[in-house]
Amino acid sequence: MNLREASRLEYSAPESPRIEQLYLGSLQRIADATELMAKRYDELLRDRDSWKIRAKDEIAACKRLLKSNAALQGVITKMKKARTETA
């Protein structure tokens, strides 16, 4: 049995671990819980960063499409003018 598990038990027998050992086990459990919280936080940060990158890419694609549409509108206008001039 390691100190983490020992710190979870209630002791009353004389062969129980010393109080310092129980404190050490408790601190190790607290450290484990803190690491789990930090892991989730890091995961959330990675998620946020990936969504930010995706949003920037989508904004850039939207701007490209707007420019392309404007250029195509210009081509359509030129073609209409050319058609009316030749007719």
Return the domain boundaries, the chain. 3-86
Q: Which two tokens stand for residue 28?
A: 């190790």
Distances from the Cα of 8 to the Cα of 1, 24, 58, 70, 81, angstroms: 11, 11, 51, 69, 85
DSSP assignment of 35-84: HHHHHHHHHHHHHHHHHHHHHHHHHHHHHHHHHHHHHHHHHHHHHHHHHH
Over residues 13-36, the pLDDT tens digits come to 456 677 887 788 788 889 889 999
Over residues 32-74, the pLDDT tens digits come to 899 999 999 999 999 999 999 999 999 999 999 999 999 999 9
